[in-house]
Amino acid sequence: MNYKVGWLFDQQILALTHFTPAITPEEFQAIVTQTQAYLQSVRQPFHVLIDNRQIGDSNVVDLDMVMQAFPALNHAQLRWIVMILPEPIKHTAAQRVIQRQAEIQLIYVETLEQALAHLQQVDPTLDLNQQDQAFFRQP
């Protein structure tokens, strides 16, 4: 598989990562379907981490586009979307403003470490020791 979707932290952070610079339309549809399945059981506030480090495209997806592409993210319990920018443009993360729609906010970061630090700051219940350590390893 060229991607992975799942709980990085059980019922707290749903993560998506790519293992190749591009995914097919069929893979994208599978990602949307898997995201919907994971979110059906969520009953508490949660966050989404989108890891775009490997993506070959240097276009930045804004919050409106994320919400259109992933309708399941229009979830009453979603609080933050943290997006790690692709390597070629990661240096622009700090210049980008935090976007907001109702209770949902999106922030861009350069690294996984920055993403986790932000999530721990906004959600003090997050225990970094509970992270799925194998999540970002390609199967």
Q: What is the pLDDT of residues 73-99, one digit of tens each?
A: 999 999 999 999 999 999 999 999 999
- The DSSP-derived string for 70-86 is -GGG--TTEEEEEEEPP
| pLDDT tier at 19, thresholds 50, 70, 90 | very high
Query: Quick one: average pLDDT of 21-27?
Result: 92
Task: Quote the pLDDT of residue 127.
Answer: 95
Contact in structure between 125 and 113 (CB atoms under 8 Å): no
Q: What pTM was estimated for this model as a whole?
A: 0.95
Please state whether 102 falls in left (phi above 0), alpha (psi between -120 and 50) or beta. left
d(Cα 5, Cα 23) in Å, to the nearest integer?
Answer: 13
Task: Quote the pLDDT of residue 58.
Answer: 85
Structure tokens at 127: 């225990």
